[in-house]
Amino acid sequence: MYQIAFLFLACILVGFALLKVKAVGILVGLAAFLEIVGVLVILIFSVALLYLGFRTLFSRSW
């Protein structure tokens, strides 16, 4: 269970890294795409992490 939570946290950090990517030269067109992907990754894995937290909280198995 904790391994999945750490994986989700790592994915959220990757999303923030994608937001900070500086595009140079040919990759300028990818900058907007990477920003959108970064925001989506952050949102999706944050919601998944919240779901895991609430599921653990209310399952009484911890």
pTM of the full predicted structure? 0.78
- The CA distance from 32 to 18, in Å, is 10
**Positive/negative CA dihedral, 44, 9, 54, 1:** positive
What's the mean pLDDT in 12-18?
Answer: 89
Under 8 Å between Cβ of 39 and 15: yes
Q: Cβ neighbours of residue 17 under 8 Å, at least 6 residues apart?
A: 38
Question: Which amino acid does the sequence have at 51?
Answer: Y
Question: pLDDT tens for residues 18-53?
Answer: 888 776 676 777 888 888 899 999 999 999 999 988
Helix (H, G, I), strand (E, B) or coil at 62: coil
